[in-house]
Chain A
Amino acid sequence: MREELLKIIERNSRIDLKELAVILGVEEIDVVNELQALEEEGIVCGYHTMIDWEKTSVEKVSALIEVRVTPQRGQGFDNIAERIYKYPEVNSVYLISGGYDLLVTLEGKSLKEISGFVSDKLSTLDSVLSTATHFILKKYKDHGTVLTKKYEDTREKVSP
């Protein structure tokens, strides 16, 4: 049940417990216990809402930043990653294979705010060798959800 439960709530964290129990074919108490276990084990790390800020009046800019760093002896990349992810404006930090080391995603109110963060805070860190900032112009799909189109049922209404 665990994997199936995770797949469901990954898509819809607002689904109610009773319904979860029904569609999984288990008792509600089992769902409650399993969810609690998943939270305790740190497998379920949070329940977020997907928002397309584009459609609101709130000004937001997001960027992806490729960061090349010098790994530290005994620490590898963990130390520098931590220094970066502690900034609240940083959304995510990934260690990446290939041409650069860390991929940082960032949200800010304006281009200026983001470039300010990169030049003042990120590039000035000792182990950072270089950065390349990419501003996001449009989000087509995020977290498996297509943002630009709505599902439309085009099937014949009755078929054998």
Chain B
Amino acid sequence: MKDMLSKQAVGLKPSGIRKFFDIVSEMEDAISLGVGEPDFDTPWHIRDEGIYSLEKGRTFYTSNSGLMELRQEICNYIERKQGVTYDPKHEVLITVGGSEAIDIGLRAVVNPGDEVLIPQPSYVSYEPCAIMAGATPVIIELKAENEFRLTAEELEDAITDKTKVLILPFPNNPTGAIMEKKDLEAIAEVIRKHDILVMSDEIYAELTYKEKHVSIVEIEGMRERTILINGFSKAFAMTGWRLGYACGPKEILEQMTKLHQFAIMCAPTTSQYAAIEALRNGDEDVQEMRMAYNQRRRFLLHSFQEMGLECFEPFGAFYVFPCIKEFGMTSEEFAERFLAEEKVAVVPGTAFGECGEGFLRISYAYSLDNLKLAIGKLADFVGRLRQNEKKF
């Protein structure tokens, strides 16, 4: 058959991670630092609620927006954490992971020709979702010297009269960068001035290691123009449950709910029941996991310092983003050689945007023992590279 495929779909670049995944999965004894999900199991009391809901036969669809009880808990949670209130009836939608919320959120707000601002390095979905929504993605290249935060100047420079929405991916995957209150206030001014929307992906909000995470919706005049996205994957180690949510102005959520209804129907019912338990009784689990991540984060930064590898101090998520420019290789070359010679997998920074060139994403969603082993190998590898450089 001729022209069997959508040109738009075919035109999407496959995720840079995929290629690497294929190489790694063929190496049986490879150690991986390439995982983008927690190493912890979902806390047992949360799993138990999921099991209980199955036992009780709660195996039917929920309402399109999700269980009212869960939406109410989400509103309580956001009020507790961020001090911002949402109406569970009209301003919350339970989605299949934060990923779905990104997709339908963009589709709900953009029109052909609209520009979507995407700061990079960042998660791999924003750009393809923007394209499939019919918008034009406009990349803002974040800089290491700003600790990969988005500055007001960078934002101002990227805005045109076609700009519709800014994606705000903090705490950031892959850099671990965060936006503090002062950073958010600075960009909020630009956002208000140009009257654009914000899609704030705060999936790593619970994992910050400085002060408590601040959401853009806390800043004056921002709640009414922001789609706030979060979920259970990272905070409660629930990646496989596929559960996230979006909060925002009623008008936008109404459209998102419609798209969700037609594409998905409703998020998995079992996961929704488990998530209620997570929000009600999961604070302590989150705290314990955060503490463990922070210990590992300190260990990695200390190790980089010892081996003289340049890395800014990231205060969020569970990634560090060291710079490897001194070795005169691309990120991909470095990652491929490191894997071939030491059997350790890291993800090249370029998988998250071209401006990730010269950097690696190293995940610390691994036990300290595992990290120690892998970092020992990184030190050997880096030492060897420097030795060779001297020789020639």
**A residues engaging B (CB < 8 A)?**
4, 7-8, 19, 22-25, 151, 153, 155-160
Inter-chain contact A158/B298, CB cutoff 8 Å? no
Among B15-23, B45-53, B321-329, the stretch that binds chain A is B15-23
A159 and chain B: residue at smallest CB distance: B36
B306 and chain A: residue at smallest CB distance: A22
Contact with A along B277-311 (1 / 0, CB 8 A): 00000000000000100011011001000000000
Inter-chain contact A159/B368, CB cutoff 8 Å? no
Give A159 to B35 CA distance when docked, in angstroms: 5
CB distance from B296 to the nearest CB of A (A): 7
**Cross-chain pairs A/B with CB under 8 angstroms, 8 sampled:** A22-B302, A23-B298, A156-B35, A157-B30, A157-B32, A159-B34, A160-B17, A160-B351
Specify which chain A residues have a CB less than 8 angstroms from the CB of B30 in the assembled complex.
Answer: 157
Inter-chain contact B35/A23, CB cutoff 8 Å? no
Specify which chain B residues have a CB less than 8 angstroms from the CB of A25 in the assembled complex.
Answer: 298
Q: Does B25 count as interface, using CB distance less than 8 angstroms?
A: yes
List residues 1-44 of chain B with CB under 8 A from any CB of chain A: 15, 17, 20-21, 24-25, 30, 32, 34-37, 39
Give A22 to B368 CA distance when docked, in angstroms: 12
CB distance from A137 to the nearest CB of B (A): 23
Give A101 to B345 CA distance when docked, in angstroms: 56
**Residue from the list B20, B296, B345 in contact with A23, Cβ < 8 A:** B296
Give A4 to B298 CA distance when docked, in angstroms: 14
Give A148 to B173 CA distance when docked, in angstroms: 36
A3 and chain B: residue at smallest CB distance: B291
CB distance from B300 to the nearest CB of A (A): 10
A151 and chain B: residue at smallest CB distance: B367
Inter-chain contact B25/A160, CB cutoff 8 Å? no
Specify which chain A residues have a CB less than 8 angstroms from the CB of B35 in the assembled complex.
Answer: 155-159
Specify which chain B residues have a CB less than 8 angstroms from the CB of A19 in the assembled complex.
Answer: 299
Evaluate whether A160 and B123 lie within 8 angstroms (CB atoms) in the complex, with A22-B299, A22-B302, A24-B295 already known: yes
Give A149 to B17 CA distance when docked, in angstroms: 32
CB distance from A45 to the nearest CB of B (A): 23
Specify which chain B residues have a CB less than 8 angstroms from the CB of A159 in the assembled complex.
Answer: 17, 21, 34-37
CB distance from A154 to the nearest CB of B (A): 10
Specify which chain A residues have a CB less than 8 angstroms from the CB of B295 in the assembled complex.
Answer: 8, 23-24
Q: Does B142 count as interface, using CB distance less than 8 angstroms?
A: no
CB distance from A53 to the nearest CB of B (A): 24
Q: Does B130 count as interface, using CB distance less than 8 angstroms?
A: no
Inter-chain contact B25/A4, CB cutoff 8 Å? no
How many of B's residues come within 8 Å of A, CB to CB? 28
Q: Does B68 count as interface, using CB distance less than 8 angstroms?
A: no
Specify which chain A residues have a CB less than 8 angstroms from the CB of B347 in the assembled complex.
Answer: 158
Give A23 to B368 CA distance when docked, in angstroms: 10
Give A4 to B20 CA distance when docked, in angstroms: 37
Evaluate whether A157 and B25 lie within 8 angstroms (CB atoms) in the complex, with A7-B291, A23-B368 already known: yes
Give A25 to B34 CA distance when docked, in angstroms: 25
Inter-chain contact B21/A156, CB cutoff 8 Å? yes
Give A158 to B368 CA distance when docked, in angstroms: 18
Evaluate whether A158 and B299 lie within 8 angstroms (CB atoms) in the complex, with A4-B291, A7-B291, A153-B39 already known: no
CB distance from A46 to the nearest CB of B (A): 23
A26 and chain B: residue at smallest CB distance: B298
CB distance from B134 to the nearest CB of A (A): 23
Inter-chain contact A158/B296, CB cutoff 8 Å? no
Inter-chain contact A160/B291, CB cutoff 8 Å? no
Q: Does B144 count as interface, using CB distance less than 8 angstroms?
A: no
Q: By CB atoms of chain B within 10 A, which of A25, A158, A159 has the most?
A: A158
Evaluate whether A158 and B345 lie within 8 angstroms (CB atoms) in the complex, with A4-B291, A22-B302 already known: yes
Q: Does B124 count as interface, using CB distance less than 8 angstroms?
A: yes
CB distance from A15 to the nearest CB of B (A): 9
Beyond known contacts A151-B367, A159-B36, A160-B123: 20 more, CB 8 A cutoff: A19-B299, A23-B295, A23-B296, A23-B368, A24-B298, A155-B37, A156-B25, A156-B35, A157-B24, A157-B34, A157-B35, A158-B20, A158-B21, A158-B35, A159-B17, A159-B21, A159-B34, A159-B37, A160-B173, A160-B351
- Kindly list the 9 A-B residue pairs having the minimum CB-CB distance in the complex, ordered from nearest: A23-B295, A158-B34, A158-B21, A157-B32, A159-B36, A22-B302, A157-B24, A160-B124, A25-B298
CB distance from B221 to the nearest CB of A (A): 33
Inter-chain contact B36/A160, CB cutoff 8 Å? yes
Give A159 to B367 CA distance when docked, in angstroms: 17
Evaluate whether A23 and B299 lie within 8 angstroms (CB atoms) in the complex, with A157-B34, A158-B345 already known: yes
